[in-house]
Amino acid sequence: MKPLAELTWPLVAQAVAEGVTTVILPLGATEQHGPHLPLGTDTVRARALAERLAERLPVLVAPTFPVGCSDEHGGFAGLLGLEAETLAAVIVDCARRMVAWGVRRLVVLSAHGGNGRALALAEARLRRELPELALWIPDAAMVCGDAVRAVAAVDAVSFNAIGLHAGEGETSELLRLCPEQVRLNQATPGYTGDMEEGLTRLIAAGTRALSDNGVMGDPRLADADRGERYLAAQTACYEASLRALLTAQPVAFSEDGSA
Ligand SMILES: [Zn+2]
């Protein structure tokens, strides 16, 4: 299906009547992604994944939210951000309107890890306030992590190079999606130590304390063709889970969102 914002109300009403009752709500962010990637990197990635899924599945795609919870990137210019409670409220408010015109399943597809607390808050509220709405809020690392690492392994790219932020992984994807926005001559490695330890330190003290240029990973290894393979692998992982969600009755889903 075309993106929701490009449809008319009669077209949406018709789609719902024909059984298209699932909406993907993509979440991005506006935050530093090193000296070489645009602030809207996560927004670009969220929109691309949602649109690829909508090409394969009977789902509607809501406009991508371009602002998330990004205070871990404080101290770098360009940051926009919401409190976790605010983002959770935005999700719940939109879901309430969706339910009113017939939506029965909501998939919140966040391309930004910092949204985690907001997503947990939203999930708790949605399960309490809109129990008729089946909900899936995938954890990107859980759903796609192995598939992404498998793509990298083929090219002998290490996990520390893929990185957690603006590293080889995101840079490869952006080279595929919007190469004109990638300043590859500015791409320099940032924190390239152990990424699990890096994540712990990032959560505790923010990116600035860890990496002068805001990068976690090594973007110099980025490659557009590998970016396409990353995107295809993630799309396939989400698609498989979504197919199961679409064929199940909403009431059949348990608290943790599994079938
Ligand atoms: Zn990002």
Query: pLDDT tens digits for the chain (259 residues)?
Result: 889 999 999 999 999 999 999 999 999 999 999 999 999 999 999 999 999 999 999 999 999 999 999 999 999 999 999 999 999 999 999 999 999 999 999 999 999 999 999 999 999 999 999 999 999 999 998 899 999 999 999 999 999 999 999 999 999 999 999 999 999 999 999 999 999 999 999 999 999 999 999 999 999 999 999 999 999 999 999 999 999 888 876 544 444 444 3
β-partners of residue 24 are 61, 107
Could you tell me the distance, in angstroms and rounded to a whole number, from the CA of residue 53 to the centre of ligand 1?
20
Q: How far is the CA of 183 from the centre of ligand 1 (A)?
A: 15
Q: Evaluate whether 62 touches 4 at the Cβ level (below 8 Å).
A: yes
Count Cβ atoms below 10 Å from residue 243 Cβ, excluding itself: 12
**Packing angle between helix 168-177 and helix 41-56, nearest 10 degrees?**
60
Strand partners, 105: 22, 134
Q: What are phi and psi of 49, to 5 degrees?
A: -65, -45
Ligand 1 center from residue 251 Cα (angstroms): 34
Nearest residue to 56 via CA among 32, 96, 24, 34: 24
Distance, CA of 94 to CA of 3 (rounded, Å):
16
Distance in Å, CA 212 to ligand 1 centroid: 16
DSSP letters for 138-167: --HHHHHHHHHHHHHHHTT--HHHH-SBSS
Tell me, in angstroms, the distance from the centre of ligand 1 to residue 165's CA: 5
The domains found in the chain, sorted by start residue, are: 4-251 (3.40.50.10310)
What are the structure tokens assigned to 120, written together?
């947990």
Ligand 1 center–CA 246 separation, angstroms: 28
User: Ligand 1 center to residue 38 CA distance, Å?
Assistant: 10
DSSP character at residue 220: G
The pLDDT assigned to 250 comes to 53
Greatest Cα pair distance in the chain: 53
Question: Could you give the 3-state DSSP secondary structure of residue 22?
Answer: strand
Sole residue written with tokens 């999930």? 123
pLDDT of residue 258: 43
**Amino acid identity, position 28:** G
Q: 192 alpha carbon to ligand 1 midpoint, in Å? A: 16
Sorted by sequence, the CB contacts under 8 Å of residue 208 that are 6+ apart come out as 73, 74, 75, 76, 214
Q: How many angstroms is it from 71 CA to the middle of ligand 1?
A: 13
Give pLDDT, residue 141. 87
The predicted model scores a pTM of: 0.93
Distance of CA 171 from the midpoint of ligand 1 (Å) = 9
Question: What are the start-end ranges of the H helices in the chain?
Answer: 9-17, 41-56, 84-100, 116-129, 140-154, 159-162, 168-177, 195-205, 224-247
Q: How far is the CA of 32 from the centre of ligand 1 (A)?
A: 8
| pLDDT tens digits, one per residue of 209-225 | 999 999 999 999 999 99
For position 249, what pLDDT does the model report? 62
